[in-house]
Amino acid sequence: MKKNFLLILLFTAVLFTACRPETIIDETELPAKEAKRLIILSEGSLNHNNASLAMYDFTAQKLDNKFFETANNRGLGDTANDMIKYGSKIYVVVNVSSTVEIVDAKTGKSLKQIPMKTADNKAKQPRNAAAYGGKVYVTSFDDTVTRIDTTSLAIDGSVQVGRDPEGICIKNNKIYVANSGGLDYSTGNFDYTVSVIDLHSFKEEKKIEVGKNPYQVFADSQGDIYVSTRDIYNSSDWTKIDVPASFKKINVSTGKVETIATISPNKFTIVNDKAYVLVNNYTKTIIAVYDCLNEKVVTNNLLSDDTEIAMPYSIAVDAFNEDVFVMDAIGDGSYGNIVCYDKNGKYKYKIKGVGLYPNNALFLD
Amino acid sequence: MNILKKIVVIVVASCAITTPLLAQNNLDSLQHLPEVVITEKYTDREIRSSAPMQVLSQKSIRNLNVLQLSDAVKHFSGVTVKDYGGIGGLKTVSVRSLGANHTAVNYNGFTINDVQTGQIDVGRFSLDNVDIISLNSGQSDNIFQPARLFASASVLNIQTIAPRFDDDQKINGRASLKVGSFGMFNPSVFTNLKLNEKLSASLSGEWLSANGKYPYILHYGEAGKDSSSVEKRENTDVQNLRLEGALFADFSNKSSGNLRAYYYQSERGLPGATIFYNTSDFSKQRLWDKTFFAQAHYRNDISDRWNFQANAKYNHGYVHYLDPTFLNAEGKLEDTFRQNEIYGSGSVLFRAFENLSFSASTDVAVNNMSANLPDFVYPTRYTLLTSIAAKYVTNQLLATASLLYTQTSEQVKWGTAADNQRRVSPYTSITFQPFETIDFRLRVFYKNIFRLPTFNDLYYSHVGKRSLKPEDTHQFNIGFTYSISIGEWLPLLTITTDAYHNKIKNKIVAYPNRNTFEWSMMNLGSVDINGVDIALESAFELSPKVKLLTGSSFTFQDSKNMTNPDSPAYKHQLPYAPRFSGSGRAAVETPWINAAYSLLWSGTRYTSTQNMPDNRLSGYADHSISLSKSTCIKQNKVVLSFEALNLCNKNYEIVRNFPMPGRSFRGTISIDF
């Protein structure tokens, strides 16, 4: 028995080491380490140039909510929408200032500010980013995905997608982009597709119909793509919703789009093959958890206690210990908080005053 | 970022661009009541008024070094003018922290109404043909006025120059030309014509253009430690045209009337906020607006006891907004909005006893609005306002009381209309002079009034909410006025001091609804305001030929956000309300030359609800001087003046990321004929 067990152990170890060099081909696929610092992006308010990066030291339990500004003697700009970590750098997407700031993750110093402008010098209004294979891909409201080379820190390509692309993810050498058409909200003429771009040729291969106003896209390890769509309002009575926000999956094996009916997302993220969905409910903070491998809802609400969150704005999950962080924007113009729950949804602690409308968090070792 | 938030900002900023109107309103001087002793000495009104009233006459306006009405209004105490900078920038007036929607603008007796935004852009009013501007907190002591003038928390009155003729004069007037920095060019003319003994006319026209390209320093962080760059304001051009004509008739010695037509059009760039790293691409939006109105006023002094007046008006407003950089399918955002108003009012005044009079007024208004927005609901609002008021006056006491009844009815082309409103709003005031020989008066007023939700609040796309209630205000004011004349060298010294407590309930604010992408208007806010306004005015006779006139105002405002005890912003000062602010002015008049100095200053403000260093906007002081010289050429008075504005050349901000112009110059030549 014992021998058998050891044999199996040995066998799996061999299998693991054998597989490792093949499966782990990119930094995005490294296993998570224990986080020492939390970087929080706050979007700021329009026309106020007050987007900010905050840094929270888990050991010292200290917050520096001017991490970027102190390091660079200047502000991040107006309306920061997204950030990702890739290698030793953080890529911050600033929508209204129309820049991508490439920031050293350790020091907060900007290594380069890339102006996101079209050939005729118009603002592209970048929205979201994803990275793979030494490149960072950025969606912009000018209906493009821009590629940034992470060695030269310069733009080296651009591809046309659908209207007003928002979320972006990369899986199995494909880039998936949610085409929202959200800037045509007043006419109800939303886009309803996800563009699939080949990573190597950097050309759009096809568009998959997923429903009006798609917003975020993330992949699980099997290659299934999860998409959220936003509420569609009744055009003659804005107080009514025709189609509520929905949670969908593009099944990689069948290519079909399935709706996960019970969940109406506001924002979501996928960590360790679990989708953590901040449910579209303003009065109560609800986090639904969906198991992407077994394809079933784990819980309709992870949170076991009703901690006061004035305005749940975004969600992030630490892949190492699966602590869940909910960003509370408060909503009345005050600096927001970030609230930490353990993986069972039990309240742990709160970091106050991180910035105005916190919308993203990264875990750094 | 949040698109809706952006849309709201754009709409509020661009469409709070308004609609003027007019008529004739020197009613107080016609009322044969004992408190009206002198009408030319306006300071008299200020100290006798039972609710605070501040007045700037034509002459004092000239000494303020101001071009637009909004600049003059900044000299009133208790006032916050939200100024987005430059000639074309939006300028709205909030009195005592109540918000611009609570300030009515009265142009020659007719309230200017903007049902779409509820805010009047006072930057569009020229001072060229203005005789007097005044500001009433609460309401005027004059009870013989249309019901609408009882229907707001404060009233900014603009009165244009009425025709006055010397004995055998048939025509008079003034032509002037102003030129100044940043390409400003401003010719204007007005003329009065005496058509016959009973009929006179006035005509007025003005053109104002500027490129507005002023330099400013853009700071990318905390000033002093940050990087900065020298930039130039872009897309700041304005082209304004105003044409105005009026007929004045004295039908008999008991009845009179006037008829007025007004046209204004403007094209301007909206420079937008100075966005880090993207200012130029952000500054492309354009705005065109047109306003036309015609208004008629009739008055009949039937007997010593009875007076009657009637007003009627038609107003049309048009706004066209273009954002050519908007990244939707069409590649631009282009909206047009039209508003129409039909308005009528009738008032009677009854002098029951020598000291006691009563009045009643009824106003009816129909307002509608159309827009090129898809699925726009085309709202129409019918408003009925009825007021009854009483006034008691003796030499040492003046008391007024009024009740205003408001009823509205809303209709939309499709969907659900907003809730109809019915309200009764009380007001009362009293001023008392304890000692007959000392010009010292105590005064108190209370007013409870509301503002209706605007069409934007109710119907604007995703944001509007039809079940909104009106936003309520309560004002309590207690104060004193004192005036003294000390010998020949100091013929006039007046002090007015008022302390007040205001409350706002059901404040209409934009708030995230179901989640953060879905904002909507809500009756969420609650505000407590405590403040003190002090104004000082004096005239010194330095020598028989040399006069020094000074004036100053000081304001303390503690305006607390009481909305949510759990918020970090609870009990914090409201955004953009300075705790301390003030103004000063001094003018020296000599037979050879006149010189004037004016100052505006403001303490620290916060740009958002939370009072924290990141939201702090530092205070400022804006100093200006002018020299003017008048001579006579063939009996025509010619005035040359030269002004130097914002001498310290600081691009201070009244609204964050909207820098004001630095030092600039202006020259004026005018000729009276």
pLDDT tens-place string over residues B235-294: 999 999 999 999 999 999 999 999 999 999 999 999 999 999 998 878 899 999 999 999
Cα separation, A235 vs B277, in Å, equals: 36
Please report the pLDDT score of residue B517 as a whole number: 58
Strand-pair category, A296-299 with A347-355: unpaired
Q: For A224-237, what is each residue's pLDDT tens digit?
A: 999 999 999 887 67
Q: Rounded to an integer, what is the distance from CA B163 to the centroid of its chain?
A: 24
CB contacts of A327 in chain B (<8 Å) are none
Q: Given CB atoms, is B416 within the 8 Å cutoff of chain A?
A: yes
Q: Which of B7, B219, B226, B278 to mutate to test the interface with A (most CBs of A within 10 A)?
A: B278
pLDDT at B169 over 80: yes
The domain of B572 spans 2-672
Among B326, B414, B610, the residue with its CB nearest the CB of A335 is: B610
Strand-pair category, B103-107 with B154-160: parallel
| Other CB atoms within 10 Å distance of the CB of residue A343 | 15
pLDDT at A14 over 50: no
Pure H helices in A73-227: none
Q: For B323-347, what is each residue's pLDDT tens digit?
A: 999 999 999 999 999 999 999 999 9
Average pLDDT over residues A87-91: 96
Cα separation, A47 vs B13, in Å, equals: 12
Please report the pLDDT score of residue B587 as a whole number: 95
DSSP A117: B
Residue of A nearest to B465 (CA): A239
Structure tokens at A118: 């079209």
Q: Is A10 helix (H, G, I), strand (E, B) or coil?
A: helix
CB contacts of A49 in chain B (<8 Å) are 273-276, 657
How confident is residue B18, by pLDDT bands cut at 50, 70 and 90?
very low
How confident is residue B42, by pLDDT bands cut at 50, 70 and 90?
very low
CB contacts of B278 in chain A (<8 Å) are 77-78, 96-99, 123
Structure tokens at B416: 């659900």
Please identify which residue in the block is written with the tokens 């009012």: B345
Please report the pLDDT score of residue A155 as a whole number: 97
Sign of the dihedral through C-alpha A301, A307, A313, A315: negative
Cα separation, B212 vs A249, in Å, equals: 54
CB contact under 8 Å between B607 and A48, yes or no, is: yes
CB contacts of A123 in chain B (<8 Å) are 278, 281-282, 325
pTM of the predicted model as reported, rounded to 2 decimal places: 0.90
| Other CB atoms within 10 Å distance of the CB of residue B497 | 17
How confident is residue B224, by pLDDT bands cut at 50, 70 and 90?
low
Structure tokens at B394: 């003796």
Cα separation, A152 vs A105, in Å, equals: 17
Q: Given CB atoms, is B562 within the 8 Å cutoff of chain A?
A: no
In this prediction, what percent of chain A has a pLDDT beyond 90? 79
CB contacts of B465 in chain A (<8 Å) are 239
How confident is residue A287, by pLDDT bands cut at 50, 70 and 90?
very high
Residue bearing the bigger pLDDT, A36 or A330: A36
| pLDDT averaged over every residue in chain B | 90
Those residues whose C-beta lies under 8 Å from the C-beta of residue B580, and which sit 6 or more positions away, are B554, B555, B556, B602, B603
Q: Is B662 helix (H, G, I), strand (E, B) or coil?
A: coil
CB contacts of A352 in chain B (<8 Å) are 568
How confident is residue B516, by pLDDT bands cut at 50, 70 and 90?
low
Quick check: A155 and A98 in contact, CB under 8 A? no
pLDDT at B406 over 70: yes
Residue pairs spanning A and B at CB distance below 8 A: 174
pLDDT at B374 over 90: no
Q: Given CB atoms, is B1 within the 8 Å cutoff of chain A?
A: yes
Those residues whose C-beta lies under 8 Å from the C-beta of residue B670, and which sit 6 or more positions away, are B174, B175, B176, B177, B638, B639
Residues of chain B numbered 198-227 and touching chain A (CB < 8 Å): 220-222, 225-227
Structure tokens at A351: 């970091």
DSSP, residue by residue, B491-511: EEEEEEEEEEEEEEEEEEEEE
Q: How far is CA B498 from CA B439, B530, B534, B551, B557, in A?
A: 16, 11, 7, 16, 12
Quick check: B326 and B347 in contact, CB under 8 A? no
CATH number at residue B512: 2.40.170.20
Q: For A174-198, what is each residue's pLDDT tens digit?
A: 999 999 999 998 888 999 999 999 9
Please report the pLDDT score of residue B34 as a whole number: 34
CB contact under 8 Å between A96 and B282, yes or no, is: yes
Residue bearing the bigger pLDDT, B34 or B395: B395
Please identify which residue in the block is written with the tokens 């050309």: A203
Nearest one of A77, A100, A80 to A90, comparing CA atoms? A100
Backbone angles phi, psi at A9, to 5 degrees: -60, -45
Nearest one of B249, B245, B250, B248 to B260, comparing CA atoms? B245
Q: For A234-276, what is each residue's pLDDT tens digit?
A: 876 777 789 999 999 999 889 899 999 889 999 999 999 999 9
Residues of chain B numbered 482-511 and touching chain A (CB < 8 Å): 511
* Cα angle value B8/B571/A281 (rounded, 5°): 50
How distant is the Cα of B515 from the closest Cα of chain A, in angstroms? 5
**Strand ranges, E, within B251-305:** 255-270, 285-300
How confident is residue B349, by pLDDT bands cut at 50, 70 and 90?
very high
Please report the pLDDT score of residue B14 as a whole number: 36
Q: Number of helices and strands (H, E) in chain B?
A: 6, 35
Q: Which of B11, B82, B84, B277 to mutate to test the interface with A (most CBs of A within 10 A)?
A: B277
Please report the pLDDT score of residue B223 as a whole number: 62
Quick check: B196 and B170 in contact, CB under 8 A? no
Please report the pLDDT score of residue A290 as a whole number: 97
> Domains in chain A, ordered, with CATH?
79-152 (2.40.10.480)
Least confident span in A206-215, B9-18, B36-45? B9-18
Sign of the dihedral through C-alpha A343, A346, A352, A356: positive
* Cα angle value B470/B511/B606 (rounded, 5°): 95
Among A45, A97, A332, the residue with its CB nearest the CB of B564 is: A332
| pLDDT averaged over every residue in chain A | 91
Task: List B449's β-bridge partners, or say none.
Answer: B473
CB contact under 8 Å between A282 and B514, yes or no, is: yes
Residue of B nearest to A333 (CA): B609
Structure tokens at B306: 């009875």
Q: Is A68 helix (H, G, I), strand (E, B) or coil?
A: helix
Give all strands of the β-sheet with A287-291 in edge-to-edge order: A265-271, A274-279, A287-291, A296-299
Burial status of residue B405 (CB atoms within 10 A of its CB: 0-12, 13-18, 19 or more): middle
Residue of B nearest to A76 (CA): B276
Those residues whose C-beta lies under 8 Å from the C-beta of residue B244, and which sit 6 or more positions away, are B22, B129, B160, B202, B203, B204, B205, B260, B261, B262, B263
Please report the pLDDT score of residue B227 as a whole number: 82
Q: Given CB atoms, is B181 within the 8 Å cutoff of chain A?
A: no
Q: Given CB atoms, is B171 within the 8 Å cutoff of chain A?
A: no
Please report the pLDDT score of residue B1 as a whole number: 37
Please report the pLDDT score of residue A191 as a whole number: 97
CB contact under 8 Å between B567 and A334, yes or no, is: yes
Structure tokens at A246: 């929905």
CB contacts of A77 in chain B (<8 Å) are 275-278
Q: Given CB atoms, is B580 within the 8 Å cutoff of chain A?
A: no
Q: Which of A53, A96, A139 to mutate to test the interface with B (most CBs of B within 10 A)?
A: A96
pLDDT at B30 over 60: no
pLDDT at B319 over 70: yes
Please report the pLDDT score of residue A13 as a whole number: 44
Cα separation, A361 vs A56, in Å, equals: 10
Q: Is B361 helix (H, G, I), strand (E, B) or coil?
A: strand
In this prediction, what percent of chain B has a pLDDT beyond 70? 92
CB contacts of A95 in chain B (<8 Å) are 1
Please report the pLDDT score of residue A29 as a whole number: 83
Quick check: B549 and B598 in contact, CB under 8 A? no
Please report the pLDDT score of residue B515 as a whole number: 52
How confident is residue B549, by pLDDT bands cut at 50, 70 and 90?
very high
CB contacts of B275 in chain A (<8 Å) are 47, 49, 77-78, 96-97
pLDDT at B308 over 90: yes
Q: How many domains are contained in chain B?
A: 1
pLDDT at A16 over 50: no
Residue bearing the bigger pLDDT, B524 or A182: A182
pLDDT at A305 over 80: no
Cα separation, B556 vs B217, in Å, equals: 30
Buried b (16+ CB within 10 A) or exposed e, B434-450: eeeeebbbebbbbbbbb
CB contacts of A312 in chain B (<8 Å) are 515
Please report the pLDDT score of residue B208 as a whole number: 96
Nearest one of B637, B645, B638, B642 to B621, comparing CA atoms? B645
Average pLDDT over residues A303-313: 83
How distant is the Cα of A278 from the closest Cα of chain B, in angstroms? 10
